[in-house]
Amino acid sequence: MPAYDDDLPTDEEEALLRRLTDNTEREERFRALIEFKNLILGSKRCKSAFFRVGTLDMLYNLLKEYSLPIDSDILIQIFDCISSFAKSTNKNLTQRLIELGFIEQILLVLIDDQQSKLFYESALRCLRSFFLSKKFANPYLSPIPFILLCDQNKFEPKSSSIIIDKSPSSYKLSPVEILFSNSQSLDILHRLLSISKSTQISVLEILCCACVDNQRQQEIMGKDFIPMIMHLLIENIFYHKRIHLVTLANEYLIEVCLKFLCSISYENPSIAQQLYSTISSETNQSLCEIVASLLKKINRSMIISYYASKFFVNLCKTKVLSCDDPYVSHQSLASLIHLCAKSNQNQCIYLYIECLDTLIYLLNGNSSLHHTAIYTEQLLSQLFNYLFTPSKIFGENLDETAIIQIRSSALTLLAVLSSHHEDIKKRIAEQENLITTAIECYRSSNLSLQIASLRLFHGLSRSVHQLRTTFNDTICDILLDAIKSSDLALVKIVSSVVSNSVLEFSICRTRLLSGGILDILLTFLTHSDQELSINSIWALRNLSYLSTLKIKQDILNGLTIERIYSLLEQCTDKQFLICLLSLLRNLFNEKDTEILLPMFNSTKLLSTLERLLKKNYPGEIHREVNFLIDYLHSNNHPTQKRLSSDSATSSCRSSLFPEYDCDEMDQLDCS
Amino acid sequence: MHAHFAPPLQAAVAAVMALSNTSSASSTSESHALTPIHQTATKSEWMEAIEQQHLERSALNRLIINYLITEGFKEAAEKFAEEAGMPLNDIDLTSVEERLKIREAIENGKIQEAIDFINKKSPELLDQNRQLAFHLKQQHLIELIRSNLIDEALTYAQIHLAEFAEDELKMRQELEKTMALLVFDKPLESPYGYLMQLSHRQQVANEINSALLIDQNEQSESDLSMLVRMVTYMQDKLDNKSLRYPKLIDIATGKLDDC
């Protein structure tokens, strides 16, 4: 905490405050406000000191006093002061601003449509300050601070206690919630878009922050902002045919427009579709064409390149564009890779981090783009640089947090790239120092690096070759350590790695078993986290495949017959059930059936399975059940030929994440 | 305004590129001590090539107006525009005047007045740009030292500048240098005397002017200064390739080297 946080106003500053409160003469107050503003603008100490003596309450009273009727000159000064306070990183201060009701009061005065341009610009700048991130990562990116989307808290869970009671101790509404609680807010913002470039920027930044979930996105979409956004984009892009040069009259405004398009389309298929279908009435171009034209410009700013690319990524992830659409595969992907690869010292590292994260988002689940992404080695080479020697790229004085973030994003992207194609896995795994570095990242004290390293191991574990070669004792020990972590996110990822690493051909298997992995997996079966419990039954299933009798008995002893029956009868999770049925099929491998089946009471098992058939489960479960029933029948009647297991093997092959088709795993014969 | 000045910029570049392309040296060759020096053109050929680049008078006039507007010389711009018969309709002269007032206040040492003007024009600037806020306040401290108001200077530094020193090492170092001026009987002659020079006021004024232009989404640098930088850059490129050409040796007079 800075030393000045304890400061109180000086005598002169106290005298100024008295002039504001005691003196009711308008001109004197106006002058005092200007002096007050000149003190606090650019000074964290002053803001902190004034806050400690309750100045915010005084400002709120002044705001109310001069709102009815509106005294625009005085209000402009008050707005500028509040805007400065709202930029503070002091959480108590900003919370107090919200508690007092400044946002509501500003929205109230904005209803008046008879005021000057300066009035609206000042009010909106003030409002914007409530929404924008206080700590943004943009020291070098652009001369005017540009708030990256990664600095905003996107799609965070809403506060569990939304209390309308406005008493200070319980007021917990966020600025976004306050904005939407006023039914006129969006109409007011829409009306103010046409005032000036400054109001356009402020309104769009507020709307970007307001796109916190699908519901809010829909509400904003419903107010017809898109035609205006398109008009702003067209108005600000000039194309000089003669000199083949495009100039951007207002780059900042274009950047904010693009950021808004990204925010509103994020994870929202219906809005993404609407945007895709939108045509400009001015130029007859689609919105995609307009955005794509920005990607073709020479001398375009990095922010424009990034957000234009991200827009198409969002359309792809919402399935509006396929991943082989040229907007995605040729333009967006190429731009993002180019941005990542052209890092310079003193450029904003956080934009590179956001580029990497966007590539992770795009390439995760779109394996058909992986080969395109690494076609020129440019991306891979830069990722290795980011991972191994980030300070050589960004300088020695880089913030430690930034270094960790870029390393973890680079490692995660490598993990995504190595999650599918065998040749890419091989290329990545064979990079000198990569596995050592990944191990070192796990051993660091930073959670994001640990998770990133485990993700890499998970990607590599989806390869038979890698399980046979790369997963040495050191990695096994890491898995055994990570599975005991208290961090759930970490445990979930490592459980995915373990579920592949316990396969019969994995060199890790023995060490994991001797390290007690079976007991750990058994305890996870009843974990409250659904993904973890599915991973653990998956792992048990894989463990049982082509396993020795001893291991199968250990599984059964740990699981217990009663529990298996209980799960078969009562489990409603379809993925869990499929894995359990596959586990049983693996257990009843021909040579072990005579020993294991009597533990079950085959009649009871048969009747349980037949009851399962009567339930309304998906075809895959019925196929597994039928296979088992068939097996039990044939076991009781050895002369009967078993049915082909082809239909059942698909479930053996399918991955936990349906979008990943693991070529190597498909070769396993699970019959 | 920026778009209007693309042609002169292009012409300047074209002149240099046209001449470098006539060189017999490969454009990809690296400079090497043993590489023979290649002549691109004689001075007369060079001048002829430049003459062939058609530059309209109006383009040159726009270049000058752009410089005057960017640097904040409103009256000079108005006068020039009147004499050249050029309208200034699309230029916000109020904004130019405001920037000029700010520049004049800083160059006259009236920093608090400058802060007042800046906050009126761009209320978010000093909150968004901490370095700018620091430099302004540092300059005010320098003015207090210049006026020999030592107690005021000490109080001012404690109240208004200490927070910057706490936040950033570079600012702390700058503040230490400024405070060191108090130790000397003749601060102007001290190792940190450059802070007391009037040129330091100009430096701060330029920094503020640039920031204000960017904040208003205008060019932070005039086309003319960008052209000058481009010529310097091009000449460095030609020098690195060991090419002989009539080098522009005096930008002020346009004097070319004989080659």
Q: Is A433 on the interface with B (CB under 8 A)?
A: no
pLDDT at A663: 38
**Chain B interface residues (partner A, CB cutoff 8 A):** 2-3, 6-7, 10, 112, 115-116, 119, 123-124, 126-128, 130, 132-133, 136-137, 159-160, 162-163, 166-167, 211, 214-215, 217, 220
Q: Of A375-379, A493-497, A527-531, B129-133, where does mean pLDDT reach its minimum?
A: A375-379
Contact B214 A44 (CB under 8 A): no
With beta carbons less than 8 A apart as the criterion, state whether A308 and A258 touch. yes
SS3 category, A618: coil
With beta carbons less than 8 A apart as the criterion, state whether A41 and A84 touch. yes
Q: Of A9-13, A234-238, B237-241, where does mean pLDDT reach its minimum?
A: A234-238
Q: Please tell me which of the candidates A43, A238, A243 has its beta carbon nearest to residue B163.
A: A43
The residue behind tokens 């430099």 is B135
Q: How confident is the model at residue A247 (pLDDT cuts 50, 70, 90)?
A: low
Q: Which residue of B has its CA nearest to A136?
A: B128
How far apart are alpha carbons B43 and A512 in whole angstroms? Answer: 80
The structural domains of chain A, with segments of one domain joined by +, span 1-136, 547-635
Q: How far is B221 from chain A (nearest CA, A)?
A: 13
User: CA A497, A501, A507: angle at the middle one, nearest 5?
Assistant: 140
Is residue A499 over pLDDT 90? yes
pLDDT at A244: 44
Residues linked to residue B243 through DSSP beta bridges, in sequence order: B38
With beta carbons less than 8 A apart as the criterion, state whether A570 and A576 touch. no
Alpha helices by DSSP H, listed for A348-446, are 349-363, 370-373, 378-388, 390-394, 400-417, 422-429, 434-443
User: CA A123, A129, A131: angle at the middle one, nearest 5?
Assistant: 115
With beta carbons less than 8 A apart as the criterion, state whether A502 and A480 touch. no
H or E stretch covering B120: helix B111-121
Question: Alpha carbon A290 to chain centroid distance?
Answer: 27
Is residue A654 over pLDDT 70? no
With beta carbons less than 8 A apart as the criterion, state whether A319 and A269 touch. yes
Which of the pair, B147 or A154, is modelled with greater confidence?
B147
How far apart are alpha carbons A13 and A48 in whole angstroms? Answer: 12
How far apart are alpha carbons A22 and A6 in whole angstroms? Answer: 26
- Residue A218 has a CB neighbour count (10 Å cut-off) of 14
Q: What is the pLDDT of residues B86-119, one digit of tens each?
A: 877 777 778 888 999 999 999 999 999 999 999 9
Q: Please tell me which of the candidates A38, A83, A197 has its beta carbon nearest to residue B124.
A: A83
Buried b (16+ CB within 10 A) or exposed e, B61-71: bbbbbbbbbbb
On chain B, the residues whose CB falls within 8 A of the CB of A253 are: 217
Q: Which residues contact A165 (CB under 8 A, 6 or more apart)?
A: A171
Q: How far is B183 from chain A (nearest CA, A)?
A: 26
Contact B160 A145 (CB under 8 A): no
Which ipTM value was assigned to this complex? Answer: 0.76
Of A506, A567, A565, A569, nearest to A539 by C-alpha is A506
Of A512, A478, A472, A511, nearest to A494 by C-alpha is A478
Contact B119 A38 (CB under 8 A): yes
Is residue A467 over pLDDT 50? yes
Q: Please tell me which of the candidates B2, B124, B163 has its beta carbon nearest to residue A45.
A: B163
How far apart are alpha carbons A461 and A496 in whole angstroms? Answer: 9
Which of the pair, A190 or B45, is modelled with greater confidence?
A190
Q: Of A25-39, A264-278, A431-445, B215-229, where does mean pLDDT reach its minimum?
A: B215-229
Q: What is the pLDDT of residues B163-205, one digit of tens each?
A: 999 888 899 999 999 999 999 888 888 999 999 999 999 999 9
CATH of A1-136 given 1.25.10.10, 1.20.1730.10, 3.40.190.290, 1.20.58.220: 1.25.10.10
Q: Which of A232-241, B41-50, B118-127 has the highest mean pLDDT?
A: B118-127
Of B130, B135, B129, nearest to B114 by C-alpha is B135
Of A445, A526, A456, nearest to A494 by C-alpha is A456
Residues linked to residue B142 through DSSP beta bridges, in sequence order: none
Q: Which DSSP state fits B256?
A: E
SS3 category, B160: helix
DSSP secondary structure, B39-66, as one string: E---HHHHHHHHHHS---HHHHHHHHHH
Q: Which residues contact B174 (CB under 8 A, 6 or more apart)?
A: B134, B138
Q: Is A8 on the interface with B (CB under 8 A)?
A: no
On chain A, the residues whose CB falls within 8 A of the CB of B140 are: none
- Segment 132-171 of chain A within 8 Å of chain B by CB: 143-145
Token pair, residue A101, equals 């009701």
pLDDT at A536: 94
pLDDT at B226: 84
- Segment 236-295 of chain A within 8 Å of chain B by CB: 238, 240, 243, 245, 247, 249-253
Q: What is the pLDDT of residues A129-163, one digit of tens each?
A: 999 877 665 555 565 667 777 666 544 444 433 33
Q: What is the pLDDT of residues A92-107, one digit of tens each?
A: 999 999 999 999 999 9
The residue behind tokens 């659409």 is A325
How far apart are alpha carbons A68 and B168 in whole angstroms? Answer: 44
Is residue A116 over pLDDT 60? yes
Q: What is the pLDDT of residues A165-180, one digit of tens each?
A: 444 444 568 999 999 9
On chain A, the residues whose CB falls within 8 A of the CB of B137 are: 42
pLDDT at A67: 93
Q: Which residues contact A448 (CB under 8 A, 6 or more apart)?
A: A404, A405, A408
Is residue B21 over pLDDT 60? no
With beta carbons less than 8 A apart as the criterion, state whether A482 and A494 touch. yes
